[in-house]
């Protein structure tokens, strides 16, 4: 062990270094936190002030815009209203001028009468009160008025508008003047006009007066805000009306105010902030009437306009204060927490130094620290245990050479000590890694890194076990764990190596698929199946040559690379050895088993120089062997690839056929042998390809079943056939073939029910034809599905009976409605007595169970008579009719029905 003083020096040094770094980092963090907090407080204050000023300016702009809109609205309204009143008065004035006579006396005499008074009242009935009309003679004396009769003694000779008219100077047709009424003493606005005769001489005057209420009532009807003030002002500065009503404003003259003068200079258009004649700070807008010397002023008190802003600013201020308080409080808490953490860190520093000492001495690697002179600074316990060195020798101050010499004496180092030490003492060395072996067989990985001061640190780790595990993993990555044969990856790597030598070397790839392995697995279990595969692998090892390479690709597939192939006979000889080995039975946990295989062969470079192409060729050859009945082998032939490509093209086109409407259904009649009546038709699918023409069902039905497309195609056939049969006579049934693939679907009965519901066909008229393959695959599930269909009312027929795996037990387990005798028996029934015997037996069984028997493929009269004599009830074949399109079968059914009704 290292002495305690050496470890103490290292621990104290680490503690001081870590403590200083910890203190500086925490003190700097606190300073930075305080500065950031102060900056955040300043930002909150400045942001609050900025947004407050922005909101104030926005509030003033909104208020100014509201007053501007109000003034504009009122000016347009008053302009239009006063214009309408003026238009009516103009008509009255025009009437009076036409009736004025030649002199002022004539005008006064005609217009100072009661009849004239009634005439004026009638003319002005359309005008609201108090919009009466006053008539004056040429001297300005009142001679008539619409409001009162008789008229009082009133003169307007002192009015400014009278003087302007009487002066003879050019004047507007209408003069507007705010005056104080001589009758009521109230301020009114007078609209005056002169009345002239045909020579243009003044014979009298007419005026109308509008009181302030005329303006004020309309403004009041607008329901403006309580802070809005409306003033109607004459161009001479006299306030005509005021809203809200205030007598101290009406009649006041504001022509001396700078704002009013500025507004007149700008033709009465001005808006903004100004002070009122009473010294109030206002926001307002001035808008002129277009046809009259009047302006409308809309104002609002600035303090009222800013009321919402003040309330909002208060909330902002309180929010900012609250945010500042929260920030300060959070910084205070964080600083206090950091100070507590710092104190806790200082307290734990001594504990951590102890933990560090324990960790270093208990790490799995040996650790050595050297200074720039090559003297040892630190050595942990793991190094001492790893090489069994003495702590009395390996201690601080020990030179590297002394340490290695000590190990050499102990037998844990073999080699030249000086050359070994020179590598470490070289000051130009950086990070280095090497693997060394010890005399006792261990493997040590050594890593050393030189520091800036010239010293270095070295770690040593015993990787003996790791190397062993790595080798095992490498083996598992390239070998099959069950048979210990190379796997697909290693097989392909080996084949790629051979392909690089194909110019001088010919080799063969054999793909081997074990026949009937699934049956062994299913019947005897996976444990026996695994033992069987091990036995197969051993027999393949015994069959190949010493230079050949054998691999398991997965499942029950194996592959062999046969080297140095001279000709095909060499490959055939290997295949024969393989078959002899596999066909010889061997013991599998008490079971004597033998096997066989389908083998596909590809020769390089004859069949290709690319690994992918060779593997594909061998695979195609293997499938050709399986298609040939298994238990045989095939060499690759380019025709196999052409056939595979053709099959892929068929599959691709088949996927598009339903959408492009390439499928057709032809119907072949089923004829009753006693009555010659057509009792049903079998729906037969036809594919009219746009390029290939009619494609045989034997070509595309197997592809459809393998790819699963038969589900979609079968459903289309079922719906289409049912829809067509719904148009036939009620006694004619439709027979539809159902693939074994369709029977695997748990929803077959639901699909049939949906087709019947969609087309409206009576379920008793639908006959589903199945083959024995449906029952062989899973007879319990198939019989359950057949019972579900029987519940719907659908009839079930067993097709092609007598071929394949036919068994009478199917007829006992399920009561079929019909048995269709395969055409192979019908074809030989005339000249082969055994065929006739089979048909007679089937008919007898069917008769006992009330089943209909249909003879398929009847092409001659002699065949018909024979099967009829044997007891068959129906026939189907070219003798009566081949399969026909839907439009032709309708005519045939009609002809058959007519023939039955009229046999003569």
pLDDT tens, residue by residue, 845-865: 888 888 999 999 999 999 999
pLDDT over 60 (residue 21): no
Which pLDDT value is given to residue 7?
Answer: 44
Same fold, 70-305 and 650-893: no
pLDDT over 80 (residue 75): no
pLDDT over 50 (residue 820): yes
Whether the CB-CB separation of 178 and 210 falls below 8 Å is answered with no
CATH number assigned to the domain with residue range 650-893, chosen from the 4 options 3.10.180.10, 3.30.565.10, 3.50.50.60, 3.20.20.450: 3.20.20.450
Topology of the domain covering 365-468: Beta-Lactamase (3.30.450)
Q: What is the DSSP string of 622-669?
A: HHHHHHTTSS-EEE--HHHHHHHHHHHHHHHHHHHTTTTT-EEEEEEE
pLDDT tens, residue by residue, 764-790: 999 999 887 776 655 677 778 888 898
Which pLDDT value is given to residue 268?
Answer: 63
Phi, psi (deg, nearest 5) at residue 903: -60, -25
Average pLDDT for residues 369-385, to the nearest whole number? 86
Greatest mean pLDDT range, 184-193, 208-217, 471-480, 764-773: 764-773
The pair of three-digit structure tokens given for residue 466, joined into one six-digit string: 């790791």
Which pLDDT value is given to residue 27?
Answer: 61
Topology of the domain covering 479-636: Alpha-Beta Plaits (3.30.70)
Average pLDDT for residues 292-311, to the nearest whole number? 80
CA torsion through residues 197, 201, 206, 207, sign: positive
Nearest Cα neighbor of 842 from 821, 862, 863, 823 is: 821
Average pLDDT for residues 323-339, to the nearest whole number? 86
pLDDT tens, residue by residue, 685-712: 999 999 888 988 888 888 888 888 889 9
Q: Which of residues 458 and 77 earns the better pLDDT score?
A: 458
Whether the CB-CB separation of 259 and 265 falls below 8 Å is answered with no
pLDDT tens, residue by residue, 264-294: 766 667 777 777 666 667 787 888 887 788 8
Q: How confident is the model at residue 903 (pLDDT cuts 50, 70, 90)?
A: low
Average pLDDT for residues 137-153, to the nearest whole number? 81
Average pLDDT for residues 754-759, to the nearest whole number? 94
The pair of three-digit structure tokens given for residue 39, joined into one six-digit string: 């900056």
Q: What is the DSSP string of 789-841?
A: HHHHT-EEEEEEETSTT--THHHHHS--SEEEEPHHHHHHTTT-HHHHHHHHH
pLDDT over 90 (residue 15): no
Other C-beta atoms lying within 10 Å of the C-beta of residue 574? 21
pLDDT tens, residue by residue, 599-611: 999 998 888 888 8
Provide, rounded to the nearest whole percent, the portion of the chain with pLDDT above 70.
89
Q: Which of residues 304 and 411 earns the better pLDDT score?
A: 411
**CATH second-level architecture of 70-305?**
2-Layer Sandwich (3.30)
Nearest Cα neighbor of 805 from 740, 708, 737, 710 is: 740
Look up residue 151 and give its DSSP letter. P
Which pLDDT value is given to residue 683?
Answer: 95
Q: Is the bond into 162 cis (omega within 30 degrees of 0)?
A: no
Which pLDDT value is given to residue 472?
Answer: 82
pLDDT over 80 (residue 733): yes
Average pLDDT for residues 575-598, to the nearest whole number? 90
Lowest mean pLDDT among 164-178, 260-274, 329-343, 723-737: 260-274
Q: Which of residues 78 and 288 earns the better pLDDT score?
A: 288
- b/e code 523-549 from CB counts within 10 Å (16+ = b): ebeeebbebbbebbbebbeebbeeebb
Q: How confident is the model at residue 342 (pLDDT cuts 50, 70, 90)?
A: confident
Domain-by-domain residue ranges, the chain?
70-305, 365-468, 479-636, 650-893
Average pLDDT for residues 97-116, to the nearest whole number? 73
Q: Which of residues 100 and 8 earns the better pLDDT score?
A: 100
Which pLDDT value is given to residue 183?
Answer: 63
pLDDT tens, residue by residue, 120-138: 777 777 655 445 778 888 7
H/E run at residue 511:
strand 507-514
Q: How far out from the chain centre does Cα 411 lie?
A: 69
Phi, psi (deg, nearest 5) at residue 89: -65, -35
In the beta sheet, which residues pair with residue 500? none
Lowest mean pLDDT among 373-382, 422-431, 721-730, 780-789: 422-431
* pTM score of the predicted model: 0.46
Q: How confident is the model at residue 753 (pLDDT cuts 50, 70, 90)?
A: very high
Q: How confident is the model at residue 9 (pLDDT cuts 50, 70, 90)?
A: very low
Q: Which of residues 724 and 149 earns the better pLDDT score?
A: 724
pLDDT over 80 (residue 305): no
Pairing of strands 678-689, 733-737: parallel
Please give the mean pLDDT across all residues of the chain.
82
């Amino acid at each position: 062990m290292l002495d305690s003083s050496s470890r103490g020096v290292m621990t104290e040094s680490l503690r001081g270094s870590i403590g200083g770094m910890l203190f500086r980092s925490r003190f700097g963090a606190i300073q930075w936190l305080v500065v950031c907090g102060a900056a955040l407080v300043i930002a909150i204050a400045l942001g609050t002030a900025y947004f407050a000023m922005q909101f104030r300016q926005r509030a003033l702009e909104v208020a100014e815009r509201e007053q501007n809109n109000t003034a504009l609205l009122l000016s347009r309204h008053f302009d239009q209203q006063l214009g309408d009143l003026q238009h009516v008065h103009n008509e009255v004035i025009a009437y009076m001028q036409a009736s004025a006579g030649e002199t002022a006396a004539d005008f006064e005499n005609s217009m100072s009468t009661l009849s004239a008074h009634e005439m004026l009242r009638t003319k002005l009935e359309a005008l609201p009160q108090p919009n009466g009309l006053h008539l004056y003679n040429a001297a300005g004396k009142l001679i008539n008025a619409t409001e009162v009769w008789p008229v009082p003694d009133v003169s307007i000779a002192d009015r400014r508008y009278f003087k302007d008219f009487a002066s003879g100077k050019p004047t507007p047709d209408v003069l507007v003047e705010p005056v104080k009424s001589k009758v009521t003493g109230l301020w009114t606005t007078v609209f005056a006009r002169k009345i002239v005769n045909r020579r243009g001489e003044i014979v009298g005057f007419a005026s109308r007066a509008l009181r302030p209420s005329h303006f004020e009532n309309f403004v009041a009807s607008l329901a403006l805000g309580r802070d809005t003030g409306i003033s109607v002002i004459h161009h001479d500065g006299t306030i005509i009306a005021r809203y809200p009503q205030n007598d101290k404003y009406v009649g006041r003259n504001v022509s001396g105010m700078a704002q009013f003068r500025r507004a007149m200079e700008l033709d009465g258009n001005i808006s903004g902030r100004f002070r009122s004649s009473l010294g109030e700070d206002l926001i307002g807008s001035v808008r002129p009437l277009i046809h009259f010397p009047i302006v409308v002023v809309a104002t609002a008190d600035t303090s009222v306009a800013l009321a919402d802003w003040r309330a909002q600013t208060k909330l902002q201020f309180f929010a900012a204060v609250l945010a500042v308080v929260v920030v300060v409080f959070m910084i205070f808490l964080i600083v206090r927490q950091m100070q507590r953490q710092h104190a806790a860190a200082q307290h734990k520093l001594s504990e951590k130094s102890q933990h560090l000492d324990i960790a270093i001495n208990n790490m799995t690697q040996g650790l050595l620290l050297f200074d720039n002179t090559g003297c040892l600074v630190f050595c942990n316990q793991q190094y001492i245990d790893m090489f069994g060195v003495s702590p009395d020798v390996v201690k601080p101050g020990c030179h590297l050479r002394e340490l290695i010499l000590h190990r050499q004496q102990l037998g844990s180092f073999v080699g030249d000590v000086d050359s070994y030490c020179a590598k470490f003492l070289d000051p130009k060395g950086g990070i280095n890694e090497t693997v060394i072996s010890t005399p006792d067989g261990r493997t040590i990985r050594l890593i050393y890194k030189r520091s800036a001061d010239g010293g270095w640190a070295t770690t040593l780790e015993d990787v003996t076990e790791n190397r062993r595990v790595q080798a095992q993993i490498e083996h598992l990555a390239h070998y099959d764990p069950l048979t210990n044969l190379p796997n697909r990856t290693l097989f392909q790597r080996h084949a790629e190596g051979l392909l690089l030598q194909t110019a001088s070397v010919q080799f063969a790839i054999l793909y081997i698929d074990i026949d009937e392995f699934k049956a062994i697995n299913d019947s005897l279990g996976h444990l026996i199946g695994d033992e069987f595969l091990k036995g197969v692998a051993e027999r393949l090892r015994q069959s190949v040559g010493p230079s050949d390479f054998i691999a398991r690709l997965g499942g029950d597939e194996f592959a062999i690379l046969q080297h140095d192939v001279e000709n095909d006979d060499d490959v055939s000889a290997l295949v024969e050895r393989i078959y002899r080995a596999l066909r010889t039975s061997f013991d599998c946990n008490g079971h004597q088993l033998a096997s066989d295989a389908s083998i596909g062969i590809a020769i390089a470079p004859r069949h290709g120089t690319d690994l992918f192409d060779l593997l594909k060729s061998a695979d195609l050859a293997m499938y050709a062997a399986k298609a040939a009945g298994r238990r045989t082998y095939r060499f690759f032939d380019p025709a196999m690839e052409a056939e595979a490509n053709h099959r892929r093209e068929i599959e691709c086109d088949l996927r598009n056929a339903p959408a492009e409407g390439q499928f057709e259904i032809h119907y072949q009649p089923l004829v009753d042998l006693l009555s010659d009546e057509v009792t049903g038709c079998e729906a037969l699918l036809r594919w009219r390809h746009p390029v290939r023409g009619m494609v045989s069902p034997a070509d595309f039905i197997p592809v459809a079943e393998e790819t699963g497309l038969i589900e979609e195609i079968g459903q289309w056939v079922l719906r289409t056939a049912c829809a067509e049969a719904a148009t036939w006579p009620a006694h004619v049934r439709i027979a539809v073939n159902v693939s074994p693939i369709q029977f695997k679907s748990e929803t077959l009965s639901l699909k049939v029910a949906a087709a019947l519901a969609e087309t409206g066909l009576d379920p008793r008229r639908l006959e589903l034809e199945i083959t024995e393959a449906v029952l062989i695959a899973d007879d319990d599930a198939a019989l359950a599905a057949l019972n579900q269909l029987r519940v719907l009312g659908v009839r079930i027929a067993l097709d092609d009976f007598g071929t394949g795996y036919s068994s009478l037990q199917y007829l006992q387990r399920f009561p079929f409605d019909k048995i269709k005798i395969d055409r192979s028996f019908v074809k030989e029934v005339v000249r082969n007595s055994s065929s006739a015997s089979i048909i007679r037996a089937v008919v007898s069984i069917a008769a006992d169970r009330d089943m209909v028997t249909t003879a398929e493929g009847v092409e001659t009269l002699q065949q018909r008579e024979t099967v009829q004599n044997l007891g068959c009830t129906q026939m189907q074949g070219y003798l009566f009719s081949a399969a026909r399109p839907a439009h032709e079968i309708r005519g045939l059914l009609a002809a058959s029905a007519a023939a039955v009704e009229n046999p003569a």
